[in-house]
Structure 1
Amino acid sequence: MTEQTSTAPPGSRLRRILGAVVADRRPLRIPAFRRLWLSSIVTALGSQLTAVAVPKQIYDITGSSAYVGLTGLFGLVPLLVFGLWGGAIADTVDRRVLLLVTNVGVAVTALLLWAQAFTGLDSVWVVLVLLSVNQAFFAVNMPTRQAVVARVVPEHLLSSAAALTGTMATFGAVFGPMLAGAMLPIVGLPTLYLVDTLALVAVLWAVWKLPPLPPLSGKVRAAGLRDVLMGFRYLATQKVLLASFVVDIVAMVAGMPRALFPELAERTFGDPPGGGTALGWLYAGIPLGAMVLGLMSGWAHRISRHGVAVVVAIGAWGVAMVGFGLSESLWLAVVFLALGGAADMVSAIFRQAILQTAATDEMRGRMQGAFTVVVAGGPRLADLTHGWAAAAAGTTWATAGGGVLVVIGVAMAVALLPAFWRYRAEVPPR
């Protein structure tokens, strides 16, 4: 050991150690990104209240996980249509204006969900239709928001920005369901929708403060079917991007058991019919693990084998879902969900980094639209498949069997698309 190394101040050594573990905060020095990130703190909580309220309300009305599974179908169709079209719109108009319009749409539908619950309509179909409209606005909003991040954050910080954004989203996904479980017996289900509506005001403020973000070409125009098809043709030539979508579809469709949480909370883990803490913990388990991993993601920007990282993480997710499906104790089930959430966060960080760096700006909105369809649509399709599988074979077979299918499916995907396994990203010096 040299004299210079041995006499290094303890404080500098501690900072280097923390820098390798704690999340990289450099993107927060960028004002536009910082405002978007801070606004997401409140909205992450609010949106999760609605995410719990919708399946809970449907289960209360029908007493059937198969009906809860329909939330996946009614959420998936608008995501497929408007996610792809919304990505094309984000490439041809001012992204700031588009964010404002879609955020207002999400807020209005959240308010209507509150109104139907408050008046006691007890109509599954009204809830499902409002959910579909809400998801249509969301499907346009999400690719636009991600494309904005790529415009305001330098390329070498995109993986760090993805980790920070994911960490805040999982913060809401952890504490939002726990808050929902605590609020349900006290203030009732309609209030959950109302709180989400009020939280969306924070997003409107952050988006209003953004600078104008027209296309780099300077040409603002309408987006049509031709633009959507151009996005598909572009994706077909990008094997690594295509593989990143395929492996996530495998992970989510086969392995996401959230449609079964209301049934498991009552029939396996002892919640009362009106809702309780078990339901909150089940919804919080996956994002809890993801949040902890995100807070300790300082190492992420040093990893160059992004494809390997994604494949290993998805395999770990599948194993964790097998453990969850076989658990008879609530706390053991939550541990497996948290382990799965940590693995999913690793996958999400590197898939987002691959997307942001591999896609050109004129195609980034469309690729983010496809990403939104996969990331948000996959779990909704899983709601449908898991709900029906549980109705036919029971919750244990639906959850544990799905985890096994994840491991098999991701191995097959890598065998068919080996370029993804070999993919390396350039890692700049810190």
Structure 2
Amino acid sequence: MDLGPLRDSRDFRLLFGSGVITMFGTFLTLVAVPLQMKELTDSYMAVGLVSVAEFVPMVVCGLWGGAIADALDRRKIIISTEAGLCVTVLALMVNATLPTPQIWVLYVVGALSAGLGSLQRPSLESLMPRVVRHDQLTAAAALTSFRWNLGAIVAPGLSGLIVIWSGFATAYGINVATFLISLILLWLVKAPPQAEDAPPASIRALVEGVRYAVSRPDLMGTYLVDITAMVFAFSTALYPFLADELGVPAAQGLFFSASAVGSLVASVTSGWTNHVHRHGLGVIAAAVVWGAAVALAAVMPTVWGIFACLALAGAADMISGVFRSTIWNQTIPDEFRGRLAGIELLSYTSGPMLGNARASLMGQLGGTRFSLGAGGLLCVGAVMAMAGLLPRFRNYDARTDEHAIRERARREALAEN
């Protein structure tokens, strides 16, 4: 694994450390809120509505977060939203200490938290090219993925134990502490502010960002291929049914963790990605492997065979994410980076939601194995079709692409000054 960004960039180390700490605390809340809602209501519908309450703020604030990331000081946006997230968890902690915790607080705070997180994400994403050298952006993306996947494996289990052993108020209190530590690290970041002539945040600015994205087939390829792969092959809604069919209900936990395990393995062996320059072709190949692995899982007769296939799918998804992130960070001008990060947020959050809806419908019509296998094969076919329809994306080469060359020259000029 290439650790160059951690060695060479103080600001990246601070952002990385903040992300590690915040992620653990966030998982505490992600586990605690549905558990507390279940304890208070004993209703599947009530628990499910927490996600529904979060969806609209996530979409609206994700787009607006991109606009303000290009208009205002990204560092200040990150610090302000981090402080807001800390306050939301503090409200959950206070609510949990009441003799009768209020259900509406979980919904309102869940919506606020989703909105603040979506406001923050574009600024975080667009800050990366400012704190990492141009030639280290692929390594930085791999390190960020490693951080996330390690947390996704370890943090939920620890969070569940803390909630069971110490209660909801303690879990929320620990999360407040993690946010406070994270705020200190973020305060120490010294990334340069936006240019004085940056356009103000507005609907017009959002439209300009969308027009810029549409004008670049290579960028559109990163969004369309990822959404296509997720819609046809993302199938976590099928895992409980698949485990029941195998007669091992407890295996659904393995299935849910398989993707993160595969992604983690791919992250720690990701040094080779620095030598790849055809990133569009890399995204296409990874998406094909993702779909093929999901299709193969449909015919596996054992729990561990399915686990291996899902882990392979997770590894492919991680590689796809690294190459997509590299294209974004190496080619998008700084004045558009925030707005495009908002579009990216929508692309990789909407795909899994639509994918689970597709998986559930096909499972209802033809069964679990049919939905899993057909979805994987449809993914392979659709991605290959996208590759044929998007030659600019397929042939993208970081060594010769005009946008990559321009951004590399701009960053070198800034470094010299």
Q: TM-score range by the shorter chain?
A: 0.7 to 0.9
Aligned residues: 398
What residue number does 1:295 align with? 268
What residue number does 1:424 align with? 397
Matches within 5 A, 1:13-412: 22-53=1-32, 64=44, 73-113=52-92, 123=103, 127-180=106-159, 182-183=161-162, 185-187=164-166, 192-211=171-190, 213-215=192-194, 217-219=195-197, 222-259=200-237, 269-271=248-250, 278=251, 280-325=253-298, 329-386=302-359, 395-412=368-385
CA distance in 2, matches of 1:57, 1:325: 35
TM-score w.r.t. the length of structure 1 is 0.81
Contact 2:89 2:176 (C-alpha < 8 Å) held by counterparts: yes
Q: Which moved more, 1:28-37 or 1:196-205?
A: 196-205
Q: Residues 369, 297 of structure 1: CA spacing in aligned structure 2 closer, same or farther, 3 A cutoff?
A: same
**1:237 Cα shift?**
0.6
> Could you say what secondary structure the match of 2:249 adopts?
coil
Contact 1:240 1:423 (C-alpha < 8 Å) held by counterparts: yes
Q: Which moved more, 1:102-111 or 1:417-426?
A: 102-111
| Percentage of identical aligned residues | 32
> Could you say what secondary structure the match of 1:218 adopts?
coil
Contact 1:69 1:387 (C-alpha < 8 Å) held by counterparts: no
Q: Residues 404, 348 of structure 1: CA spacing in aligned structure 2 closer, same or farther, 3 A cutoff?
A: same
Q: Unmatched 5+ residue regions in structure 1?
A: 1-21, 272-277
**1:298 Cα shift?**
0.9
Residue deviations 1:56-89 (CA, integer Å, cap 9, x gap)? 666775675x877666654443232211111110
**1:133 Cα shift?**
2.3
CA distance in 2, matches of 1:390, 1:43: 36
CA distance in 2, matches of 1:188, 1:285: 28
Residue deviations 1:28-73 (CA, integer Å, cap 9, x gap)? 3210111111222222333334444556666775675x87766665
User: Aligned AA for 1:252?
Assistant: M
User: Aligned AA for 2:394?
Assistant: W
Q: Residues 54, 107 of structure 1: CA spacing in aligned structure 2 closer, same or farther, 3 A cutoff?
A: same
CA distance in 2, matches of 1:282, 1:127: 28
User: Aligned AA for 1:174?
Assistant: I
> Could you say what secondary structure the match of 1:213 adopts?
coil
**1:251 Cα shift?**
2.0
Contact 2:70 2:199 (C-alpha < 8 Å) held by counterparts: no
TM-score w.r.t. the length of structure 2 is 0.83
> Could you say what secondary structure the match of 1:269 adopts?
coil
Contact 2:262 2:311 (C-alpha < 8 Å) held by counterparts: yes
CA distance in 1, matches of 2:373, 2:145: 26
Question: Highest relative contact order (Cα 8 Å, sep 6+), 1 or 2?
Answer: 1
Q: Unmatched 5+ residue regions in structure 2?
A: 406-417
User: Aligned AA for 1:424?
Assistant: D
RMSD: 3.3
CA distance in 2, matches of 1:330, 1:118: 42
**1:227 Cα shift?**
0.7
**1:280 Cα shift?**
4.9
CA distance in 1, matches of 2:88, 2:63: 21
Contact 1:48 1:176 (C-alpha < 8 Å) held by counterparts: yes
Q: Residues 260, 69 of structure 1: CA spacing in aligned structure 2 closer, same or farther, 3 A cutoff?
A: farther
CA distance in 1, matches of 2:63, 2:196: 22
Contact 1:294 1:345 (C-alpha < 8 Å) held by counterparts: yes
User: Aligned AA for 1:361?
Assistant: D
CA distance in 1, matches of 2:395, 2:123: 30
